Structures are given as C-alpha cells and as structure tokens.
A = this chain, B = another copy of it.
Amino acid sequence: MRRVYLDHSATTPVDPEVASLMMTYYTEKYGNPSSIHSFGQEVRNAVEQARHQVAALIGAKPDEITFTSGGTEADNMAILGVADAYRKKGRHIITSAVEHHAVLDTCEYLAKNGFELTILPVNEEGIVSVEDLAQAIRPDTILISIMHANNEVGAIQPIADIGKLAQEHKVLFHVDAVQSLGKIPVNVKEMNVDLMTVSSHKIYGPKGVGALYIRKGIRLVPLFHGGGQEKKRRSGTENAPGIIGFGKACELAGRRMAAEAAELKILRDKLLQGILDKIDYVKVNGPLGDSRLPNNVNVSIRFVEGESLLLSLDMLGIAASSGSACTSGSLDPSHVLLAMRMPHEIAHGSLRFSLGRQNTEEDIDYVLEQLPKIVERLRMMSPLYDQMKQAQ
C-alpha cells in the first residue's frame, strides 16, 4: 500500500545524514561531554559545534543556547523560569489563546499560583492583534509569550511588531518558534526576542531534544537541580547524540529552507485548491498566502467528523491530523479553532495536512483522489448531511 505521511507538524522523520551522524555518537564516540578525558572531550567539541549550528539558524550567539529535552521543556523553562526570577518585579503575564498547551497550560498553572494572566484573543484567521497586546501591557507585566507560527492552522504572528512593543515597554518576550523554525526565517535579534523555544523533531532532527534561546543577561530559575550542566541552566547528563543530531538538522534546514519552502508552497496550494474543487461545504482554516506556513493545509469538512476522516485516510495509508475532540479524548475540539470563533460542530470536522521534505506531487494526487470518496462515504452515513439536504 502507498504510504503518504502528511503529519510533519506532529513530527518528522530524522534526516538520514543526521541519523548516521548520531549513530557514531551512540556507539563509537560515546563519552560523557562533562568528562575531561578524550572520550568526553571529543563529544564536548561536537556538542559545542551543535550549539553554533542551532544559534546560527536563529541569529543568536552560541552561549545564548541552552539545550533541553524538547519544545515542551523549553517552553516551561522560559515561562516558569522568568516568573520565578522576576516575581519581585511583577506578576502579570500575557499570552494568546492559540498557543500550544506547553505555553498555555504553563501560564495557567502560574495563574493558579499567584500570577495574573491575560490571554489575548485572535481574529478569525488565528492572528493576534498588536493593538490588543499594547492595551494589555501593564506596569507589572513581566512576560509576553506569543508563538511565531501556529501548529494547527499555520498562522504566522506579527512577531517583529510585538518584539518592538515589548522592548519599548521593557517586558521580556518569549516566542515559541517550534513550528516556524526551518520553514520561514527566524531571527531573534531582528525580532527583538528575549527567549525562544525550538524543537528538533519538527525539523528532521531526533525527538527528545530542543533548545531555549536566552538572551544574554536574562536571569532564569532552572527547572532541574543537579550536576549543573549547560552552565547550571539545565542539569542532567547531556543528550549528546541528540544535541549533535539537532545541530546537524539545523545546519541542513538553514541550507535548504528557501528552496524547500518554495516547493512546499506549490504542493500546499495544489492540495488546498484540489480539496476546494472536489469537495463542497469545505471551509479553509487560517490565513492564506504569506501569513501561513508553507507546509500547512487546514480545512473543515462539514457534516463529517475529524477522527472518522483520519481513520479512513489511514486505511489508505495517508497520515494526517485533526482538531476533533475525539482525537484527543477530550470533549472539546481544538482550542485554536474555537478561539478563531469556529462553531464546535465545524471544528470537529477539521483536518490538517502538514507537508514535508519528501512529499511529492503524486502524494498530493493520491490524497485528492481518495479524500473525496471518503467524504462521500462518511456523509452518506451522516445525519447532519441529511438534515442539510432536506433543509435545502
């Protein structure tokens, strides 16, 4: 059976070049980078090279990069670490309604523990308003946390404008760039960012590795206590093969990004247009054009439910994802789609295709051949489709 993976925003395969580099560090150069012997020092050098590679992709200095176990840890470290270090300065934090749970839930944890939280709304395309943000800033605001690109609908936020605003008000600015890294240009200096989260497994690097950019001079209370690795910011034996793999993945991403984004946009637009042409009652979620990640397609297919779509696609070898409540076992569909003021019943039928490096035109053709049949089958079963037809 043909297998078509269109869930790259969930995770990506590891690039073969990255994987084979990692192998060397698993089985041959396996020393602990904190050891002073040569088994350790050869790994230390490679870890520091990786720090350069990650820093280069986001316009940072190497010593501003702290490696973590992933995006979630980096988000927690940034938000909890700033809250703890700057609590005497103030206790107000601003974020948006469409953040990843690693940001939103962390902020909400703080809101239950002595902090005040403003959650900015978004417009129907999922984009935060800079004016709203300007009005939300208070004298006791210590942190603004806004993502660069949204993982569900691909909406790109006006980060540079927010960064300027944050700087003017001397408020720290954290950006979750997990989804934008390697897909669109990211530059902490140009965007006036103080803290930035990135994650390896979204850019063809290994799972279980991420990094937090911490602008020089910013204090953070660490999440872990222990051996004092990563300049005391992140204790624990360094995941050297993972870090080295992440570094390589950043290097590759930097080299390939421009060409890849152009190709992905063509496939993205072909897929989206094809769906709109072949299936009726479809709503596009998120912005169009340059405010959207080059690899994201998100649609709501009315009168059918997302998990059913996913399962049916999966039976044909196609992997996608959905903001349907059923895919997460919760009762509510995606908080992102709801924040975009989409009615529950339409949000349940949402479908995200996130494209990647190895996808081809044939993959897209295959989806466009199969998806309409699936939708037709499910709609034949759907009492909602009946109702709509009868109402016409």
List residues of chain A with CB under 8 Å of any chain B CB: 3, 5, 7, 10-14, 16, 19, 22-23, 26-28, 30-32, 34-40, 69-73, 75-76, 100-102, 105-106, 108-109, 199, 201, 206-209, 223-228, 235-242, 307, 310-311, 313-314, 317-321, 327
Q: Which residues of B contact A13 (CB under 8 A)?
A: 26-28, 30
CB distance from A318 to the nearest CB of B (A): 8
16 contacts between A and B (CB under 8 A): A7-B35, A7-B37, A7-B39, A10-B31, A11-B30, A37-B321, A38-B319, A71-B236, A72-B226, A76-B225, A101-B226, A106-B224, A108-B225, A199-B237, A206-B239, A208-B242
A31 with B319: CB separation less than 8 A: yes
CB distance from A308 to the nearest CB of B (A): 11
A37 with B319: CB separation less than 8 A: yes
A235 with B39: CB separation less than 8 A: no
Contact of A237 among B70, B75, B313, B321 (CB under 8 A): B70
A71 with B208: CB separation less than 8 A: no
A227 with B70: CB separation less than 8 A: no
Q: Which residues of B contact A31 (CB under 8 A)?
A: 5, 7, 10-11, 319
Contact of A27 among B16, B76, B224 (CB under 8 A): B16
CB distance from A258 to the nearest CB of B (A): 25
A110's closest neighbor in chain B, by CB? B225
Residue among A12, A225, A310 with max Cβ neighbours from chain B (10 Å): A225
Once bound together, how far apart are the Cα atoms of A381 and B16, in whole Å? Answer: 51
Once bound together, how far apart are the Cα atoms of A5 and B238, in whole Å? Answer: 19
Q: Which residues of B contact A73 (CB under 8 A)?
A: 69, 224, 236
Once bound together, how far apart are the Cα atoms of A355 and B81, in whole Å? Answer: 39
CB distance from A357 to the nearest CB of B (A): 12
Once bound together, how far apart are the Cα atoms of A225 and B199, in whole Å? Answer: 16
CB distance from A316 to the nearest CB of B (A): 11
Residue among A30, A34, A37, A73 with max Cβ neighbours from chain B (10 Å): A37
Q: Which residues of B contact A321 (CB under 8 A)?
A: 35, 37
Once bound together, how far apart are the Cα atoms of A109 and B225, in whole Å? Answer: 8
CB distance from A107 to the nearest CB of B (A): 9
Contact of A35 among B10, B37, B223, B242 (CB under 8 A): B10
Q: Which residues of B contact A100 (CB under 8 A)?
A: 226-227
